[in-house]
Amino acid sequence: MAREDLFKKELIAELRRVEVSMRKEASIEKKIYYFSAAYGVTSRTLRYNFKDDYLLADCVLNTCYNGLMDRFKRIRSGDATVELQPVHFERIQDGLKMLADAFESDDSILIPLEQILTTMYSVTGPGNYLREKGLLKL
């Protein structure tokens, strides 16, 4: 097996592990913690086997982790204007599964990344406002 195939195989396995771990966890904080492993594996993968798709996935997943952490910290500090709801994590988990599937089948990764990014955007102030107006649907 080629070196590139080993890195790709590990990337896919880790994305699937993250998705399953998030689904099993009830705690929002732990779900976000597990989600951090998704950009961790893309970051490692692109350093050893650079591909544009790995870089794109890493940027989106890192941005989404930071956005979720920002919202979580705001909630913990008393800002209840935008809640983290089960639907947010369901959509992210589904997006991670689709991302692993896309990497495995060499399909486009844009739809899974769009789903994950849109979900994270919906927990920001502007994104939540668009969701309340019905323009952003999850």
Question: What's the confidence (pLDDT) of residue 1?
Answer: 62
Question: Other C-beta atoms within 10 Å of 84: how many?
Answer: 17
Whether the CB-CB separation of 41 and 15 falls below 8 Å is answered with yes
Closest to 22 (Cα-Cα) out of 118, 112, 89? 89
Closest to 119 (Cα-Cα) out of 67, 41, 58, 59? 67
Cα–Cα distance for residue pair 72/70, rounded to 1 Å: 5
Q: Which two tokens stand for residue 120?
A: 């994270």
Q: What is the dihedral of CA 77, 23, 136, 133, to 10 degrees?
A: -50
Per-residue pLDDT tens over the stretch 61-109: 999 999 999 999 999 999 999 999 999 999 999 999 999 999 999 999 9
Question: Given a cut of 80, is residue 3 above it in pLDDT?
Answer: no
Least confident of 4-8, 27-31, 54-58, 82-86: 4-8
Whether the CB-CB separation of 99 and 116 falls below 8 Å is answered with yes
